[in-house]
Amino acid sequence: MTSNETWDALRRFTEARIGLGRSGSAMPTGEVLKFSMAHAKARDAVLTAIDWVPVEAGLAALGLKSIRIESAVADRDSYLRRPDLGRRLSPASRERLAAHAGGKPDLLIIVGDGLSSKAVAANAVPTIAALLPHVARNGWSLGPILLASQARVALGDEAGEFMGARCVAMLIGERPGLSSPDSLGAYLTFAPKVGRKDAERNCISNIRSGGLSHEEAAFKKAWLLKEALRRGLTGVDLKDESNFALEQQPPPAAITAV
């Protein structure tokens, strides 16, 4: 087997840019240009606004009601510079939610655009669909799905507190990588309230085609939620040991077609 054949064989297991070869010490021309194109696409993805209409339609098809909310951020540029405002609800959103507050659901799911609208478009509805059987099996009550624009993870603290939720799950677009502009993160926070720290959350990241599947993400999320509700906490004191409960290891990452 030649070097190139070996690297091709190894590329079945990772999207990392392995076995690129070199021009002297430097990267070959083709690889430099490929990298530039990937960066250009990621830059464009950060700045593209989310279209909620297909997400709402997908949720409606699952029989789920959704409500749009916004953070206190006005536009994309201030979103990037003012994370503090991205963690707070706009006054109009609080008014909109007031009509639905007080149900005290076990789980409040929020879908936030975060840094990748593409991640939300591709992965939010399938992840929620995969979670629904776990919700039904465990008899958890579910609040309306909140669709949050210009959202940071901690926006879920204020929204969850306002809605009286026992636990909040924020599904949010992660900062786009060159090979993965569409990666969704899922943050679980028990007893959400303004001022919760990051160490008080559990995160499942890289939910996307070629990363963690929607089914496995839902399985992990449900495991964490069950433990969170049982033990009354999330964060560093709640270790993800869900694999121990799995009979089978997850399948290796799928190969993304070029």
Partner 1 sequence: MFVSYWAGTAYRFNDLKELMAKATPRRSGDVLAGVAAGSAEENVAAKMALADLPLKRFLNEALVPYETDDVTRLIMDRHDAAAFAPVSHMTVGEFRDWLLSDEASSEALTRLAPGLVPEMAAAVSKIMRNQDLVLAARKCRVVTRFRDTIGLEGRMSVRVQPNHPTDDKRGIAASTIDGLMYGCGDAVIGINPASDNVGAITDLIVMLDEIIRRFEIPTQSCILTHVTTTIEAVRRGAPVDLVFQSIGGTQGVNDSFGVTLAMLKEGREAALSLKRGTVGDNVMYFETGQGSALSADAHHGVDQQTLEARAYAVAREFKPLLVNTVVGFIGPEYLYDGKEIIRAGLEDHFCGKVLGVPMGCDICYTNHAEADQDDMDVLLMMLGAAGVNFIMGIPGADDIMLNYQSTSFHDQLYLREVLGLKRAPEFEAWLQKVGLADDRGRLRPEQASHPLLEHGRRIAA
The site for partner 1 (CB under 8 A) is made up of: 1-3, 6-7, 9-22, 24-27, 31, 35-36, 38-39, 42-43, 45-46, 80-84, 115, 174-180, 183, 195, 197-199, 205-206, 210-212, 235-236, 239-244, 250, 252-253
Residue 4 or 138: the one with the smaller Cβ distance to partner 1 is 4
Which residue, chain included where needed, has tokens 């465990």? Answer: 138
Least separation, in Å, of the C-beta of 102 and partner 1? 28
* CA Rg value for the chain: 20
Of residues 100 and 209, the one with the C-beta less far from partner 1: 209
What is the DSSP code string of 182-216?
T-EEEEEEES--TT--GGGEEEEEEESTTSB-HHH
Tell me whether residue 149 or residue 183 sits nearer to partner 1 (CB atom).
183
Task: Look at the block and give the residue holding tokens 């478009």.
Answer: 121
Q: Maximum distance among all alpha carbons in the chain?
A: 67
**Residue (38 or 129) nearer to partner 1, CB:** 38
User: Which segments of 62-184 does DSSP mark as H helices, in order?
Assistant: 76-81, 83-86, 91-98, 117-138, 155-163
Q: Whole-number minimum distance, CB 151 to partner 1, in Å?
A: 14
CB closer to partner 1 out of 17 and 100: 17
DSSP letter (8 states) at residue 79:
H
CB nearer partner 1, residue 102 or residue 244 = 244
Cα distance between residue 252 and residue 255, in whole Å: 9
Contact 113, 173 (CB under 8 A): yes
| Burial 204-235, CB ≥16 within 10 A → b, else e | beebbbbbbbbebbbbbbbbbbebbbeeeebb
Starting at the earlier edge strand, list the strands of the sheet with 167-173.
66-70, 145-149, 107-112, 167-173, 184-190, 201-207
Q: How far is the CB of 139 from partner 1 (least distance, A)?
A: 26
Q: Please identify, using beta-carbon distances, which residue of 114 and 143 lies nearer to partner 1.
A: 114
| Residue 217, helix vs strand vs coil | helix
